[in-house]
Chains A and B, each alone.
Chain A
C-alpha cells in the first residue's frame, strides 16, 4: 500500500515523461485492437458479400471460379446453364426462391447483369441486409436498368438517364448495342459489395439486345428495332449462373447432390460461405502482415516505456538508497519500479480500449457511408481478451526489466548514496 502511494507520487512527479510514455502505449494498444477489429470486420464483411443464398449454381468448373464470376463479377464463366436445366432445378421441392443471372455485357467497364425482379426481393448481403434503393424502383420494362451506387456516382447518372450497353466485358468495346438504349429507373444504396459496381437489367433485356445477333456479332442485314423485339419471345435460352434459396438449411446437401449429379449437363452447386472462406484464406497473408505490424508497434511502445524508466533509474538511485535506509527491502524497490511500469501499462491498455471505442463510435457511420463497411460495436471478443491478456503478460515481463535492475542497484548500493 505504502509502496503504491510512493509509486503514484513518484509518477506524478515525472508526469510529463510518464504522460508521453502513457500516450505511446495507449496509441499502440488502440492500434493493435483497431487493426484486429478491422481485420475481423472486413473478413466478416467479405464473408457477408453474399448472405442468405444457400447455393450458387453454375457450369462445372472450380468453386472459387464460380464464386468469382457470379458474386464478384471477376473473370468469365466457362460455360452457361441451359434455361431448361434451370427450370428443372428450381422445381426441386426444397428450392424456395431463385435468382438467375446472366453476364457478358458491360457499360463503361461496369459489368451488366441480367436478372429478374426477384433479385431485389431475395438478394441479401452482410448479415441478411436487403438491397435498398436510394432512388427509383426495380426494373419492370425490358429496357429498364438499375444501377449500383458506385456506377451512378462515378458516371454521374441520374434517374431517366439513357444508357447504351456495350458487348463484352472490357472497358473499351467496339460493338455497342446502341439501337436499344436502356433507361435508368433505380439507383441502389451503397452496400460495400460488388453490387455497387453492377448495372442490373432484366433477363429479357439481355435477350432483346442479342436477338438479332448470331455467334457473338450482329447478323448482317437483319436489324430488329427495340419495339419490335419486345413483341418476340424473350425467354432466355441460357443463363450464366443462379442463386438459390432453400426451404431449410438441412436440405442444402440434398439439393447440392441433386445439382452436382444433374444428368442433362455438367453443373455444380457451391455453398457461398465455404467458397468465400477458401478465397479469403488465399488472401490471409496480407491481414496477418497487418496484425504483425501492429504487434510490433505495441512492442515499440513497451520498449519506449522501458527505455524511459531505465533512463530515470540512474537519477533515482539516491531515492532508492534513502528508502533502503528507512527500512525498505530490495523487494520493495523492485515493486516500486516494476509497479510503476505495470501501472503505466495497465492504464495504457485501459485508455487504449477507451480510445478505440470512442473512435469506433465516431467512425462507424463515416466508414459505413464511405466504404460500405459496417463495423459492429461489440464487447471485446474472447480472442481480443486473449490478445489483451498477452499484452498484459508482456507488460508484466517487460516491467520486470527495470525492476530487477533497480533491485540489483539497491543490493549493491545499500544505503550508500551515489551522486
Chain B
C-alpha cells in the first residue's frame, strides 16, 4: 500500500435521499508516477469520485488513502489543506478566476499551500516559475498580459494546467479537460500535459468519457468495472 498514491478500499457513497449508493468500489489503487485514464460516462459517479478524492466529500463507508494518509481521519480543514498541498485539479471549462491575470491564476494555489509555495521559492520566484510552466505549455509573451476572459478555450485550459502543476503536487487530476477543445488541440494538450507530468514526476489521473484518448495513457480503467453499484444497475 505504501507505493500507492491513491488507494480506495470498500468505498461506498450515497447521496442523501438516494436509496442505492452511487459508488461501491471494493478496491482501486494507483501507483506513483502512473498515467491513468479513467473512463466513465456522465452520470456514472465520476464527479462524485473526484470529490471524494479531493476530500470535499467523505464516504459513508470505506477508506480513501492518498499518499498513504487516510483522508477519513482528517478534519475538513485538514482535508482542504491536504488537497491544496498534494492535488492539482483541471476541469472541463471555466477553470480561471475572471478578475485575476493569467499569472495570478497560475500562482493561486500557492496562496493556499505554503508547502507548494516553499517548493517553488526554493529555486526561483512564483512569477518566474509560473512563466516557465506557461512557456512549456506554449503560452508566453503578450498573452500573459491579457485578461483571462480574452483567451481562447484552449489557452485557458493550458493556463489551468500550469496552475495544477505549479509547486509540483504529487497528484494531478484532470476531469474532462479536453472536451471543449477540437481534435487537434485535444491531442496537443494531452501530450503537453503528459510531458509536464513526466518531467515533474506527478501521478496523473485523467478522467474522460472519450475512449479515443485512451491511447496516450499507460493504463485505462473503466469506472463501471470498478464500481459495483453500476454493475448492479446495468
Contact = CB atoms under 8 A, between A and B. Distances in A.
B51 A414 contact: yes
A337 B50 CA distance: 26
Contact of A327 (B76, B80, B100, B104): B80
A287 B122 CA distance: 65
Given A328-B112, A329-B77, A322 B84 contact: no
A322 B113 CA distance: 15
Contacts of A414: 51, 54, 56-57
A9 B51 CA distance: 28
Interface string B69-89: 000000011001101110001
Interface string A330-345: 1110000000000000
A325 B54 contact: yes
A333 to B, nearest CB: 11
A319 interface: yes
Interface string A302-340: 000000000000000011001111111111100000000
Count class of interface residues, chain A: 20 to 34
Which label, helix, strand, loop or mixed, suits the secondary structure of the B interface?
Answer: helix
A9 B112 contact: no
A327 B94 contact: no
A274 interface: no
Contacts of A322: 91, 94-97
A416 B89 CA distance: 11
A2 B108 CA distance: 9
A293 to B, nearest CB: 38
A327 B83 CA distance: 6
Contact of A10 (B77, B84, B93, B99): B99
A13 interface: yes
B81 A327 contact: yes
A10 B98 CA distance: 9
Which interface residue of B56, B93, B94, B98 has the most chain A CB atoms within 10 A?
A: B56
Contacts, number: 70
A415 interface: yes
Contacts of B99: 9-10, 12-13
Contact of B94 (A2, A318, A323, A332): A318
Nearest to B54: A415
Contacts of A327: 80-81, 83-85, 109, 112-113
- Interface centre among A6, A326, A328, by most chain B C-beta atoms within 10 angstroms, is A326
B89 A415 contact: yes
Contact of B76 (A9, A13, A329, A332): A329
B108 A416 contact: no
A54 B153 CA distance: 84
Nearest to A414: B56
Contacts of A323: 97, 108
B96 A2 contact: no
Contacts of A329: 76-77, 80-81
Contacts of B54: 325, 414-415
A6 B112 CA distance: 12
B94 A9 contact: no
Contacts of B10: none
B179 interface: no
B86 to A, nearest CB: 10
B51 A416 contact: yes
A219 B84 CA distance: 106
A332 B83 CA distance: 14
A6 B109 CA distance: 12
Nearest to A8: B99
Contacts of A415: 50-51, 54, 56, 89, 91
B43 to A, nearest CB: 13
A88 interface: no
A417 interface: yes
Interface of A: 2, 6, 9-10, 12-13, 318-319, 322-332, 414-417, 419
8 contacts: A9-B99, A9-B104, A13-B98, A326-B84, A414-B56, A414-B57, A415-B91, A419-B94
